[in-house]
Structure 1
Amino acid sequence: MRGRVIRIERISSRAGVIEEPAVTSKGYQLADAAQGKNKHHAEFAVYAKSLDEVAVLLDKGFSLWMGAKGKRASLIAPRSLRIVRSEDCISA
């Protein structure tokens, strides 16, 4: 692994907003693609306690709920996300 995950960004955010991973009392909320058309339903939600855990699940094909202040959260596919690691931020 190449450093600790410090941020997960949506590659193409909605205009005028900065979206961040949705966090609940259970942790970051994700959806398993194996649930097919039902993956967005709350009863099939999967939770991760850290961004590092989220990154592992994204690599396995899970989608991540992303939201912004005043905007409803959206389910975002892993191909539409950028994982930023601490190593990526170090300048030489």
Structure 2
Amino acid sequence: MTTPEKSFICSELLKILNNADWQKKPLCYMYDYYKNQGESDEEAKNHDSVDIGWLLLEVISEMPRKFETDSSYRKTYTYIPE
């Protein structure tokens, strides 16, 4: 649960700290999907990162709580108290 003074990025939420951690998480299934479509390692990683970002945005947009985002490459989500 986020608090007004706590922000997060998607990788923190999913506890992805490095590539070794990433390969042990559910994201590896998205990565495998793109690899099986003939994409390179880098293309598959980029696509699954975009996919998880869209999934997070969908979940957050349907929550009763409101979040503010910045416009950086790795969006930071900050809870806005009502």
Shorter-normalised TM-score: what interval? under 0.3
TM (norm. structure 1) is 0.25
Q: Going by fraction, where is strand more abundant, 1 or 2? A: 1
Q: Which one has a bigger Cα radius of gyration?
A: 2
Q: Going by fraction, where is helix more abundant, 1 or 2? A: 2
TM (norm. structure 2) is 0.26
